[in-house]
Chains A and B, each alone.
Chain A
Amino acid sequence: MSDTTGAASPGRIVVDGRPIPYQAGDSVAVAVMRCGEHPKHGGTICLGGDCPNCSAIVDGVPYVRTCQTAATPGLVVRRHPAAGNPSFPAVAQPDITRSPVADHVDVRRETADIVVIGAGPSGAAAADAARAEGHEVMVLDARDSNEVVAIYGGPTVIVRRPNGMLHVHAHQVVVATGAAEIHPVCPGNNLRGIITARAAEQLHDAGVDLGNAVAIGTPPQGVPCTAVAGRIVRFEGTDTISAVVTMGDDGLEVTTPCITVIVGLGFAPRDMLSRMSGGLPVSVVGQAAEKFPLPPCPTAGTVCPCSRVEVEDLEGVWARGFHELELVKRASLCGTGTCQGGVCGPHLRSFVADRSGEVPEMFTARPASRQITLAEASADTYTDVFRRSPLHDEHLALGGQLDRFGGWWRPWNYGDHIAEYWAVREAVSLGDVSTLGKLVVSGPDAVELLERLYPTTVADIRPGRSRYVLLLNERGHLIDDGMICRETETRFVLTFTSGGAANAEMWVRDWAETWGLRVHVLDRTMSLAAINVTGPLASQLLQRVGLVDPPKFLQHRHDIVAGVPCHVMRLSFTGEASFELHHAVDRSVELWRALMEAGQDLGIKPHGLQALFGLRLEKGHVIVGMDSELDSTPRRLDMDWAVKMDKPDFLGKSALVRTAELPDHRRLFGFTMQGNAPTEGSPIWSDGNVVGHVASSFSSPLLGHAVMLGWLKHTPVPEQVQIDGRTASVAHPPFYDPEGRRARA
């Protein structure tokens, strides 16, 4: 093929590193073919956007249909490799602690009574008729750069445009997308030089010389070519067509030399959009709604140019017993490529019809009907939001390495988690625990609610005192833990884990409503920040900033700390004396800085989760979801002490009673081992068998060996196991300060 216009080129595109000129109105595919090249490496060209045979990498985006892409100056086109798949651009995400940044694609939203897809004769008629009835009509056509790629519920029509995506919310959709041309399936159909009749007309109109062309089937209009009767047997040539072999009614093969074969083999409805919109108010008109005859059953050649599925592949799938269209598709991958059955669909149906005796309906289509980029697919959608504590910037300023935990950005460490560990054990340290769930429960039935919710006794908690509690579901499985702080006879503050807070809030509200109890619930999780002041010098630090008489262990009260009103709770997760200062979020930076300033000569350091996880592990404190499993009962966690089975009732009690006498082979144990801590999740071995796994591990600086929590799921429980190729001893935590003197100090 060559150019016959002789017109000056308005510009050049760059194909495989070589600048080539194009003419006004050219698509990239036409420009490439004008230069005598194939936009891919072979296969039938339709120029209708229905096949993968002109797809290429355009400005770095693979699988772009170049027949639908206007040639513009400097456009960089790389043809897909002749074999295999094009490589995708490398995505650099060097810092996983930052939100991923994708290419930005603008999205515009519009509404319309009726959307008509396709501006051809049937689409125009449908639009006119709708307008005549007074409807607001929007017509979308790929030739006007409004390429509809999907229809979702609503219906919402997703349109790709050169400057971004358009989402149209419509009451009704009319699909008038016409029909696609049938591609030939026979030996040699991957050669260059095969074009459909419509493509021939386009190329001829664009001034592309098709050379010595023969037409088989319905010939193109106005295109110089020689008509050849009969059906196609095969194409001959090496890379490019040199001849076509046909067979007439007499059964004799006729070889016709040529460099271009124009095929007019019929049509198939271009109905993919309607096939993806079942149940929606979507109608189909024109050729897209027609029932065209299927092509003859293919006997050889490539059926699916996207996935290079040959007829013999289909035969192999059929022989293995896949006898339905959907099954043949899935087993062979025919129809799963970039054109989604646009080329192979009619041949596949014909293949199944020939063998089964029944013509199957075309398979269901799913968005998107066109290969689109991830940025286009995700345009106007957002990644999950991870909340930031009011101290977020303070952490960053202190060198904090932040990561996502329980729906929040939290400091993992500040550069040296061992130094942070020692600050807690020997001096004083601050931890940001703003992320903890915080709920106020108030009302005359508050005690009744909490007695039913928690497996511990609540009524005997005096105002100003607090208690550690487990939260169980009806099956007696641990779903969260935290503290109950009693403020008055009828008011309590509950705390929950950071990751479990949202579920816990719903849990409390649901049960309060289910039981019809007179309580009010207020979630303060995002209204109050919290700083944990922990370490042997914590009391000293707090006295310096105005808390003259810090509360005793498991006491709490409202007081002023460094000028900031705080709810001060004395507890301990680190194993040292700890004071949680709950306060208004807008005062948090002020309080943090005051504490850091006052503690300078006390060796104060902030600590992140990495140090905290080790500190609590030395104490054997369980982290829900990390050490516990979905069906962990208190018994399995060795936390029976936190359950008062003599209470009249509580959620999960009946399940615990029922299962108490059953044998239970799964238990959480402590382990110690010389050397460094093994990776969390490591298998635990005994006598050559895997008997469990490590849930948490830490190389204890103070103890000089590894400490772990892990699950043993076989009995009898051995005294020693193998972890990471080393011998570990089963132990009972806490590993550090088992009497709890330091926490109470």
Chain B
Amino acid sequence: MPALETLHGLRVVASPAVLDTALWPDNATVLRLAPDDVFAIGATAEQAAHATAADPDAIIADESGFVGCWLDAGQLETVATHIEWHLPTQRPALAQGYVAGVPAKLWLDTDRALLLCASPYAADLIERLK
């Protein structure tokens, strides 16, 4: 398993309708954690503010509380043996649930996947996926 590294990004909380139509840079990885909550990797605060301009009360905050690693197909298969729920078949997709008993998320892209969890869980996730 690759090492889990801190994922630097932005947490953006805004109204679901605004996030539904928000435009993000092509190079950004945008994870919709909840209808009103986004974790955007690779976007600047200015871009986030622009994306959520229709919601003046949006919260935009630096986020370094997640750690993660990119997985190839074989590594994802290994991780999947530690998951009791069905992975979505659609791509891209964000899946959230327990991985090896640890609350985690999987951003499933076409040819790779980002495994991430909140940093307080990192040590256990690494240990359990060994």
Contacts and interface: CB of A to CB of B under 8 A. Distances in A.
Interface of A: 108-109, 381-390, 392, 408, 440, 442-444, 490-491, 518-522, 524, 526-528, 584-587
B101 A518 contact: no
A495 B121 CA distance: 21
Contact of B65 (A443, A490, A520, A585): A585
A385 B65 contact: no
Interface of B: 6, 8, 11, 13-15, 36-37, 57-59, 61-65, 81, 100-103, 118-124, 128
Given A389-B120, A526-B120, A382 B100 contact: yes
Contact of A390 (B57, B63, B119): B119
Nearest to B124: A385
A520 B57 contact: yes
Contacts of B61: 440, 522, 524, 527
Contacts of B62: 584
A377 to B, nearest CB: 15
Contacts of B36: 520
Contacts of B119: 390, 526, 585-586
A443 B8 CA distance: 25
Contacts of B102: 382, 385
Contacts of A383: 101
Contacts of A408: 120
Closest A-B pairs by Cβ, 9 of them:
A382-B101, A527-B65, A387-B120, A526-B118, A586-B64, A443-B57, A520-B13, A522-B13, A584-B64
B64 A522 contact: no
Contacts of B15: 520
Given A387-B120, A585-B65, A520 B14 contact: yes
A89 to B, nearest CB: 24
Contact of B57 (A392, A442, A587): A442
5 contacts: A390-B120, A392-B123, A408-B120, A442-B13, A527-B65
Nearest to B101: A382
A528 B61 CA distance: 11
Contact of A109 (B11, B81, B122, B123): B81
Contacts of B14: 520
A491 B60 CA distance: 12
A521 B58 CA distance: 10
Contacts of B63: 527
Contacts of B58: 520
A521 B13 contact: yes
B123 A388 contact: yes
Contacts of A387: 118, 120-121
Given A109-B81, A382-B101, A522 B120 contact: no
A524 B37 CA distance: 12
A585 B8 CA distance: 11
Contacts of A384: 101
B57 A444 contact: yes
A442 B59 contact: yes
A395 to B, nearest CB: 13
A652 B58 CA distance: 30
Nearest to A384: B101
Contacts of A389: 120
B65 A518 contact: no
A701 to B, nearest CB: 33
A586 to B, nearest CB: 4
A271 B19 CA distance: 55
A385 B81 contact: no
Residue in A109, A383, A519, A586 with the greatest tally of chain B CB atoms within 10 Å:
A586
Contacts of A521: 13
B101 A381 contact: yes
A384 B120 CA distance: 13
B64 A585 contact: yes
Given A385-B101, A526-B118, A584-B64, A520 B59 contact: yes
B100 A527 contact: no
B120 A388 contact: yes
Contacts of B57: 442-444, 490, 518-520
Nearest to B65: A527
A384 B121 CA distance: 11
A109 to B, nearest CB: 7
A387 B13 CA distance: 24
A522 B128 contact: no
Contacts of B123: 388, 392
Contacts of A522: 11, 13, 37, 59, 61
A392 B123 CA distance: 10
A510 to B, nearest CB: 14
B63 to A, nearest CB: 6
Contacts of A491: 59
A527 B64 contact: yes
Nearest to B15: A520
A390 B65 CA distance: 10
B84 to A, nearest CB: 8
Contacts of A385: 101-103, 121, 124
A150 to B, nearest CB: 16
Nearest to A527: B65
Contacts of A518: 57
A256 to B, nearest CB: 58
A422 B43 CA distance: 47
Contacts of A519: 57
A111 B85 CA distance: 13
B86 to A, nearest CB: 9
A383 B101 CA distance: 7
Residue in A383, A524, A587 with the greatest tally of chain B CB atoms within 10 Å:
A524
A389 B122 CA distance: 10
Given A440-B13, A520-B57, A527-B64, 8 more contacts: A382-B100, A390-B120, A392-B123, A520-B13, A520-B14, A522-B37, A524-B65, A527-B65
Contacts of A109: 81
A518 B64 CA distance: 27
